[in-house]
């Protein structure tokens, strides 16, 4: 079944407790890699940012599999437990391998989705995944700077790409930069000057949000191609 933007709707099983969840596969002709893309805490896989990011990546030869966490599938507001969220990431990897074929596989997501992907990778290797891509990594709560939520990053033996806004209230760059340097295989930090956690821009920045998303997608696609 195809949906808006030409994405194909799929389902995959997570666990007896969580059941099955939906996914949206957008696989352009001539794709060079497949990115598993998990959503943030407050919006699902059909959120405008998720759809736009998938479309921008597709024009650059990157296929995406966006997917729901169980609580979003059930249309409840409270996120699942960390265990259920990381189980969903692992189930998405299994589903992604089936859809990827010979394509190199990457994983990540927006905000919470990226962090849960990183926690899953820190707990045990994600089979066939070559790197992690984070669209606004939530290092701490707004107004409460700290690095505890990112300590596990140093134990991940995968390349990582952090796409962050310089005004991100959930990631003080003074705290994130040292973590990137300490990462096992190193990590790259791509900063959007003037962007907030959702990459919204101040009018004074002189760049539209579409231009910013273009830049983010271009860097992510280039990085995944380098690590394929």
Within 13 Å of residue 63, how many CA atoms lie on the same side as its CB? 24
- Which residues of the chain are modeled with pLDDT < 50? 1-2
Q: Supply the pLDDT for residue 99.
A: 95
Q: Supply the pLDDT for residue 5.
A: 65
The class level of CATH for 4-226 reads alpha beta
**pLDDT by residue (tens digit) across 24-54?**
999 999 999 999 999 999 999 999 999 999 9
Q: Supply the pLDDT for residue 183.
A: 82
d(CA 15, CA 86): 11
The residues facing 107 across adjacent strands are 36, 132
Q: Supply the pLDDT for residue 203.
A: 80
Q: Where are the domains of the chain?
A: 4-226
d(CA 222, CA 220): 5
Q: Supply the pLDDT for residue 2.
A: 44
Whole-prediction pTM: 0.95
The torsion region of residue 206 among left (phi > 0), alpha (psi -120 to 50) and beta comes to left
For tokens 């699942």, the residue is 80
H or E element, residue 20: strand 19-26
Q: Supply the pLDDT for residue 207.
A: 87
Which residues, including other chains, have CB under 8 Å from residue 16's CB and lie 6 or more apart?
Answer: none
């Amino acid at each position: 079944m195809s949906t808006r933007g030409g994405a194909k709707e799929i389902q995959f099983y997570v666990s007896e407790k969580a059941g099955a969840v939906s996914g949206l596969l957008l696989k352009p002709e001539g794709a060079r890699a497949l990115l598993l893309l998990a959503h943030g805490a407050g919006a699902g896989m059909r959120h405008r940012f998720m759809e736009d990011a998938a479309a921008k990546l597709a024009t650059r030869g990157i296929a995406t599999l966006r997917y729901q966490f169980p609580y979003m599938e059930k249309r409840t507001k409270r996120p699942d437990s960390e265990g259920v969220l990381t189980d969903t990431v692992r189930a998405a990897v299994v589903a992604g391998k089936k859809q990827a074929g010979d394509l190199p596989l990457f994983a990540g997501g927006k905000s919470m989705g990226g962090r849960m992907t990183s926690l899953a990778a820190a707990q045990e290797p994600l089979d066939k995944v070559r790197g992690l891509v984070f669209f606004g990594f939530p290092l701490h709560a707004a107004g409460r700077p700290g690095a505890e939520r990112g300590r596990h990053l140093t134990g991940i033996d995968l390349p990582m790409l952090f796409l962050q806004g310089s005004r991100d209230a959930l990631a003080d760059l003074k705290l994130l930069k040292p973590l990137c340097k300490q990462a096992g295989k190193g990590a790259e930090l791509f900063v959007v000057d003037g962007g907030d956690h959702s990459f919204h821009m101040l009018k004074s920045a002189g760049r539209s949000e579409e231009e910013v998303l273009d830049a983010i997608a271009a860097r992510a696609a280039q990085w995944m191609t380098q690590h394929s």
